[in-house]
């Protein structure tokens, strides 16, 4: 079971949003590089990074920070946030990122997802952001009117190497992930699934580890920053 501590970057700082709302954000003291170093020191091997500036602009705004994290620490990093073209995927893979997360652009244009998977085998992760069973796009401001499971069935054979399932209603709320819906997605998906959104305690991690074999890992964000989960405690779950 992989544990992905999260780093969300905005204006070169670590931040956390509530339900993806840019007007409802908390800034934290450590820089993204220092935060990554802290995770490395505790023994974490994987990292989930979102470039929130990139999500707003469609550009790789914080590529230099992400590059520095890749170069300094031996961490397997997945990165998302506004990746909307092949060039930007290449910038991240050239920087040494393990997986590039495609979201809105892949949902709006399935051919883009198919092309990306073909050009970058085993490098593409698909972010499915779900609200009440439907996919949301454009930083969660827009409902796609497409059922999450219907979309997944359509793209299941494209060659996506990882799925990141987020229940928007739970994100940043620390109300526990939506395990029930995540399991439905994992049962449907041809590739391993990462749980995202709502982790509130170490019990959520333990529960995730007891789920079916197609659940690859879990992302932990706000619960770390707010001190609900101690890093030492979380680190014990890495190989436990």
Q: Which domains does the chain possess?
A: 2-235 (3.20.20.70)
Distance CA 28, CA 35 (A): 10
Q: What is the pLDDT of residues 165-218, one digit of tens each?
A: 999 888 877 789 999 999 999 999 999 999 999 999 999 999 999 997 799 999
Which residue pairs from 112-116 have beta carbons closer than 8 angstroms and sit at least 24 positions apart in sequence? 112/84, 112/85, 113/155, 113/158, 113/160, 114/155, 114/158, 114/159, 115/86, 116/86, 116/89
Considering the chain, what is the average pLDDT of its residues?
Answer: 93
- What's the confidence (pLDDT) of residue 139? 64
The model carries a pTM of 0.94
Helix, strand, coil shares, percent, the chain, to 5 = 35, 30, 35
Q: Give which of 174, 228, 199, 188 is closest to 3, Cα–Cα.
A: 199
Active site residues: 8, 129
What is the pLDDT averaged over residues 38-43? 97
The angle at the Cα of 2, spanning 111 to 123, to the nearest 5 degrees, equals 25
What is the pLDDT averaged over residues 87-101? 98
Confidence of residue 23 (pLDDT cuts 50, 70, 90): confident
């Amino acid at each position: 079971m992989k544990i992905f501590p999260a780093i969300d970057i905005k204006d070169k700082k670590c931040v956390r949003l509530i339900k993806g709302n840019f007007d409802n954000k908390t800034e934290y003291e450590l820089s993204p590089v220092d935060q990554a170093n802290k995770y490395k020191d505790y023994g974490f091997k994987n990292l989930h990074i979102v470039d929130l500036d990139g999500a707003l602009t469609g550009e790789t705004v914080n590529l230099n920070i992400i590059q520095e994290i890749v170069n300094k620490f031996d961490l397997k990093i997945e990165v998302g946030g506004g990746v909307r073209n092949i060039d930007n995927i290449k910038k991240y893979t050239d920087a040494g990122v393990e997986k590039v997360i495609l979201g809105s652009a892949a949902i709006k244009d399935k051919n883009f997802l198919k092309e990306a998977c073909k050009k970058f085998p085993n490098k593409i992760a698909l972010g499915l952001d779900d609200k009440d069973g439907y996919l949301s796009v454009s930083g969660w401001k827009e409902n796609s009117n497409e059922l999450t499971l219907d979309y997944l069935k359509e793209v299941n054979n494209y060659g996506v190497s990882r799925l990141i399932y987020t229940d928007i209603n739970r994100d940043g709320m620390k109300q526990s992930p939506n395990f029930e819906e995540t399991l439905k997605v994992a049962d449907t998906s041809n590739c391993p699934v990462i749980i995202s959104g709502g982790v509130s305690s170490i019990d959520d991690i333990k529960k995730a580890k007891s789920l079916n074999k197609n659940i690859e890992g879990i992302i932990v964000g706000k619960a770390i920053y707010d001190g609900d989960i101690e890093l030492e405690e979380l680190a014990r779950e890495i190989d436990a």
